[in-house]
Amino acid sequence: MSDGFDSTYDKFNDLITKASDSIACDATCQQNKAIKQLTEEYEKSKINLITAPEKVDIAFKNLYEYKYGELAYNDEHANKLKIEAEIITNKTSEKFKGNIADIMSLLKTYESLLKTHGYVYDYDHKLKKDNAVLKKKLKEKGEGIVTNDRKTYYEDHGIDQLNFFYTIFRIIYVILLISFTICIFAVPSDTIKPVLFFVLVILIVYPFFSTPLFLGLMKIYNKALTILPKNAYKTL
């Protein structure tokens, strides 16, 4: 019975306190208190912005609506969304422009690489063609060297044979010349001595003028062939 009475008494005191506060604080005072309380909640929510950003928005909404009304908050929220949209649009536009610039740079690089690839391909084709020509010339030159070596071999072999026979004939000539000289003094002859000595002198100097004499005669012979009339029917 006592507990029920105490409870009723506490509630009655609470009503009296609220009534006293209402009498002591008018509507403007109550509004200022509410604004102060909502401001404190908003400031607290900003501290926890990283962990609870939605609370900030809710606290700001409650404060703004209480101070200026729901329509004013809607206008403010719409304006805020517009600004955020413009910021996002500008960032997206700048990023898009940057991407376009990067793409254009890549296109120019690609065009440059494509031209370089064309130059390299043409140069490689030219090198292959030049190498093929050089390889062919080298092969022909090698074959020519082999042919020239064969010619040189046969020429040297022929010269060696000519020198061999020239040496044999010279030895024979010297033997005959010595034999003739001995015969002049050792063998009696009806031919007078001056004639024999003249023949001996001719035989001694003959090797020295025989080659120029032979070349001169060949030159005269060839000159005579050019002067004499030719038989035109041989060429028909």
Question: pTM (2 decimals)?
Answer: 0.34
Task: Take residue 230 and report the two structure tokens written for it.
Answer: 């030719």
| Residue range 56-72, pLDDT digits in tens | 777 777 887 788 888 88
What per-residue confidence (pLDDT) applies to 176?
85
Has residue 1 got a pLDDT over 50? no
Q: What is the mean pLDDT of the chain?
A: 77
Task: Take residue 199 and report the two structure tokens written for it.
Answer: 């023949």
Distances (CA, A) of 125 to 113, 131, 135, 139, 223: 18, 10, 15, 21, 58
User: Cα separation of 219 and 90, whole Å?
Assistant: 105
Has residue 232 got a pLDDT over 70? no
Mean pLDDT check: name the lowest of 19-23, 43-47, 143-147, 182-186.
Answer: 19-23
On whether the CB atoms of residues 38 and 62 are closer than 8 A, the answer is yes
| Residue range 145-172, pLDDT digits in tens | 767 667 787 788 888 888 888 889 889 8
Percentage of residues in the chain having pLDDT higher than 70:
76
Cβ-based neighbour number of residue 230 at 10 Å: 9
Q: Which of 68, 66, 80 is nearest to 38 (CA)?
A: 66
